[in-house]
Amino acid sequence: MNNRHVILVRYGEISLKGLNRHYFIDLLVKNIRNTFKHFKTVKVQKVQGRIIIHIDESELQDGLEAAQRIFGIVSISPAVVIESKMPVIENAVLKEAEEHTFSSFRITAKRGDKRFPMQSPEIGRYLGGVVLKNFSDKSVKMKDADLNIWVEVREETYVYSTFIPCHGGLPVGCSGKSALLLSGGIDSPVAGYMMAKRGIRPLCVYFHSFPFTSERAKEKVVDLAKILSKYTGKIDLYVVPFTDIQTKIVELCPERQTTIIIRRFMMRIAQAIAEKNEAQSLITGESLGQVASQTQEGLATTNAVVSLPVFRPLIGMDKQEIVEIARDIGTFETSILPYEDCCTIFVPKHPETRPRLKFIERGEEPMMAEAGKMIDQAVEQTEIIHL
Ligand code: ATP
Ligand code: MG
């Protein structure tokens, strides 16, 4: 019988607290199945406190990469599955040893099938001897060995030695849906990633001010949403036509207040789209003090127009910390492409940094007669891109 390849998936016991365990695991299995839909993978199985992905050897590398991005998984190991017969196990262990550079090693044997004639310590000692016989320059080290070969003897036997740490978190979807205000910048994709890691399924809302922002700028946001979807599974991107509203604001409102008023309209529209799609919150990439509109007063005045909770996972982070995550998750290189952003085009010379709600509402007054109609129209004309 040919050796088969699997990915052993471990999920965190701690993160199960307070959540329904079965619901959590079933959702994780479902998300894994979705991620592996395009693979030749035969099966995703729940067994004894972990999940096993059966995979074709030719797709193992891609499979490991894909599995690493699924939230709720703490670590994975590529393993071979073989018959529970000692000569077969010996061969697999030797092959595992050949594939690594090491000077010290150990065997960690676990017998789960009591019908197997040797007990765990005996299996370990025996296989250790086999490795020593074939690799005469190596030594056994029980603590901190360079190579630890795990041999789990069950109905079939699993042999592996690599543990790949993953992102952890909660399975996407277990915390419900949220609308992520996704710009082409560095911050908002990171904010989306962080909330998805807590089990949120994001839908993305992008405000497009054509022709002030080009097709290329929109493509960039599409690309960012695609990268995010590698972590979240399918994502819908709502592209809101924002030109009319933005132009009107610049035309009718005091220059110093335009940034804040533009942001208030973004929040209103994002909330309307969220409510239409059963999303229970909004997510932004704001970080305290990073720009003029992100002071406490700025955040308060933009927050004042919405009733849904607004999640700002980057609020206490430095730019450098955000950049590190952006690099780590693969959005940074796309985010720094130099296409214009609708907020940077209309930046006032002296933006309000300590806006008071009363004055912003007064400044916004000329917009309000038409506001409801304009917002409805923007929502209606929103283009939905399925990614
Ligand atoms: P980012 O790097 O995410 O663009 P930023 O530091 O440039 O953020 P702002 O431009 O003030 O900050 O935007 C603050 C937040 O508002 C963004 O993180 C994003 O969530 C949202 N936002 C800004 N512009 C847009 C846009 N064109 N479409 C959708 N959301 C936007
Ligand atoms: Mg921005």
Distance in Å, CA 189 to ligand 1 centroid: 10
CATH number of domain containing 324: 3.40.50.620
Interval between CA 284 and ligand 1 midpoint (Å): 7
Q: What residue numbers bound the domain in which 273 lies?
A: 177-386
Give the mutation target among 180, 181, 190 for probing the ligand 1 site: most ligand atoms within 8 A of CB: 181
Cβ 185 under 6 angstroms from ligand 1: yes
Q: What is the CATH number of the domain that holds 23?
A: 3.30.2130.30
* Same domain for 211 and 154: no
End position of a domain, from candidates 165, 190, 209: 165
Which of 136, 165, 194 is the C-terminal boundary of a domain? 165
CA of 166 to the centre of ligand 1 (A): 28
Q: Cβ(290) to ligand 1 under 6 A? A: yes
Ligand 1 atom closest to Cα of residue 240: 28
Q: Specify whether 326 is located in the same domain as 208.
A: yes
C-alpha of residue 223 to centroid of ligand 2, in Å: 16
Res 291: pLDDT: 85
Planar angle of CA 159, 161, 167, nearest 5 degrees: 115
Are 203 and 120 found together in one domain? Answer: no
Same domain, 42 and 123: yes
Whether residues 207 and 322 fall in one domain: yes
* Structural domain includes residue 112: yes
- State how far the Cα of 314 lies from the Cα of 322, in Å rounded to an integer: 7
Give residue 117's pLDDT: 95
Query: 186: Cβ below 6 Å to ligand 1?
Result: yes
Asked whether residue 172 is domain-assigned, the answer is: no
Identify which ligand lies nearest to the alpha carbon of 186.
1
- 349 part of a folded domain: yes
Q: Which residues, 6 or more positions from 99, have their beta carbon under 8 angstroms from its beta carbon?
A: none
Residues 305 and 369 in one domain: yes
Residue among 311, 343, 344, 346 to mutate when testing ligand 1 (max atoms within 8 A of CB): 343
**191 and 153 housed in the same domain:** no
190 C-alpha to ligand 2 centroid (Å): 12
For residue 180, which atom of ligand 1 is closest to its CA?
20
* 182 Cβ closer than 6 Å to some ligand 1 atom: yes
Residues 294 and 159 in one domain: no
29 and 97 part of one domain: yes
190 assigned to some structural domain: yes
Looking at the domain assignment, is residue 62 inside a domain? yes
pLDDT digits (tens, 9 = 90+) for 57-82: 999 999 999 999 999 999 999 999 99
In-domain check, residue 171: no
* 134, 19: one domain: yes
Let me know whether 214 and 161 are in one domain.
no
Query: Would you state the pLDDT for residue 41?
Result: 76
Q: Give the chain's domain count.
A: 2
289 CA to centre of ligand 1 in angstroms = 14
| Residue pair 278/263 in contact by the 8 Å Cβ criterion | no
258, part of any domain: yes
What pLDDT, on the 0 to 100 scale, is given for residue 22?
85
Pair (224, 277) in one structural domain: yes
The list of the chain residues with pLDDT below 50 reads none
Looking at 165, 190, 207, the residue that finishes a domain is 165
Task: Tell me, yes or no, whether 149 lies in a domain.
Answer: yes
